[in-house]
Amino acid sequence: MGSSDYYKHGDRNAICDMCGFKYKLSQLRKRWDGLLVCRKDWEAQHPQSLIRINGERPRWVECRPETTDVFVSDTNYLLLADGSYLLLADGTRILLG
């Protein structure tokens, strides 16, 4: 016989969803996430979880058009995309290490 194995008119036994101990249903409380818990395991919903943020609106609109990138180089070679060759101005390739 446990501590909640007694008769109380209109009440029944229930299990705490957090700790698993048996209590009378009148001793359990429904938590913010829908669990029935004992007094020891009950916690209020954190206030930060109630904040709803509306979509951010930009304060200004960029009025300049996007420019194309211009690359200026004073070298006489071009490194290929795979990084394995140098391409010289005269078209010869030099193998990199």
Q: What is the mean pLDDT of residues 39-47?
A: 91
**Does the pLDDT of residue 51 top 90, yes or no?**
no
Q: What are the C-alpha distances in Å from 5 to residues 9, 13, 22, 25, 32?
A: 13, 8, 9, 12, 28
Higher pLDDT, 28 or 79: 28
What is the residue-wise DSSP string for the chain?
--TT-S--TT--EEE-TTT--EEEGGG-EE-TTS-EE-TTT--PPPGGGG--PPPP--SS---SPPPPP------SEEE-TTSSEEEETTS-EEE--
pLDDT in tens, 58-87: 677 667 777 777 666 666 666 655 666 666
